[in-house]
Structure 1
Amino acid sequence: MLAEQTIAPDHPVFAGHFPAHPVVPGALLLDWACHSLGAGQSAASREARFPRSCGPGSRLVLRAEPGKEPPSSARRFAITTEDAGTEVAVVTGTLGPLSTAAGT
């Protein structure tokens, strides 16, 4: 485990995403992954899949590993949560430098 956080039920993002059925936006999850991996604004998603949504009160866990292909700074990551006692993926993907993510 690299990082962990619980999404507060009163987080302001839920006011507009979606009030009747609050869901944590994918952009917020990717931003958290980038900052937790120490990449901040200098990284971008090379690929991301969102197999499950999460909402208010979700406890999220971020795991990451070094990339296995050039550039070595690219990293596979997964953000998971628990559903009925089972760990499920919320987002999986690869983060890399902006130039790599853009395909240049």
Structure 2
Amino acid sequence: MQFAIPHDHPSLPGHFPGRPVVPGVVVLDRVIEAIEARHGPLGAMRLPQVKFVQPLLPGEVADIAIEPGAPEGGADRWRFCVTRDGAPIAAGEVVRA
């Protein structure tokens, strides 16, 4: 799944004025949307591991790759990687509670 956050997104004005950066929570929201599009609503969930390694700027196109992980205590688990032009932006895990 690809996404881009437009320059007029409401989260941007207060997030580094003059050189806005897409907040990590907005990136994670797109990851959750991608998982839910394939697997239905997650309901309660945990993100036991998330690492951001590069910023995403408004208007840049990012790709989300999702793969199932080993279930944890019977709960569904997914690993994700968000990239821009093949370079990692964020990676982590989502576990349905």
Q: Shorter-chain TM-score category?
A: 0.7 to 0.9
Output the CA distance in 2 between the equivalents of 1:50 and 1:33. Answer: 13
**Alignment RMSD:** 1.6
1:11 corresponding residue in structure 2: 9
The AA in structure 2 aligned to 1:89 is: P
Structure 1 residue corresponding to 2:80, chosen from 67, 77, 81: 77
Structure 1 unaligned residues grouped into runs of 5+: 99-104
Aligned residue pairs, count: 92
The AA in structure 2 aligned to 1:53 is: P
SS at match of 1:61: strand
Output the CA distance in 2 between the equivalents of 1:4 and 1:35. Answer: 11
1:44 corresponding residue in structure 2: 46
CA contact (8 A) 1:66 1:72 kept: no
1:102 corresponding residue in structure 2: none
TM-score computed with the length of structure 1 as normaliser? 0.78
CA contact (8 A) 2:43 2:96 kept: no
SS at match of 2:11: helix
Output the CA distance in 2 between the equivalents of 1:42 and 1:34. Answer: 11
The AA in structure 2 aligned to 1:92 is: A
2:62 corresponding residue in structure 1: 60
Structure 2 unaligned residues grouped into runs of 5+: none
The share of aligned pairs that are identical, in percent, is 27
More helix as a share of residues = 1
SS at match of 1:47: strand
> 4+ residue stretches of structure 1 with deviation over 3 A?
none
Q: Give the C-alpha shift of residue 40 in structure 1.
A: 4.7
SS at match of 1:76: strand
SS at match of 2:56: coil
